[in-house]
Amino acid sequence: MNISEMQSRIFHPMLNKEALKKMLTESTSGCTVKFRKVNGEERIMWATLNSSLMPPAKQDAVSPNSKKKTGITESDDHVVVWDLEKNAWRSFRCDSIIMISREKIESQFQK
């Protein structure tokens, strides 16, 4: 993939929280989220809010009629997502997002 193809598939990180959650819910294979952790390290996560990509026991946690059962408290500045590689709930701050894409981007782009 050349640079212009990659740029056309990468979405601006200044999405509002609802647009971000919609993207994570509607993606049929997950999204790559690159963000800066509290300790300053950058992390790339393959994440989703699409319940069909989660184990059956975790699917009810994203149901609009249920309270979150993730063990992580979502706040105005955090998004709780299912990490498809770690098979666990994770969260990140919205203002820490560097990049989000519907394409899976490997860690070679981390730096």
- Asked whether 66 and 8 are in contact (CB, 8 A), the reply is no
- The whole-number average pLDDT for the span 7-16 is 57
pTM, entire model: 0.74
pLDDT value of position 47 = 95
Three-state secondary-structure class, residue 55: coil
Share of the chain above pLDDT 70, in %: 68
pLDDT value of position 6 = 46
Distance of alpha carbon 68 from alpha carbon 17, whole angstroms: 16
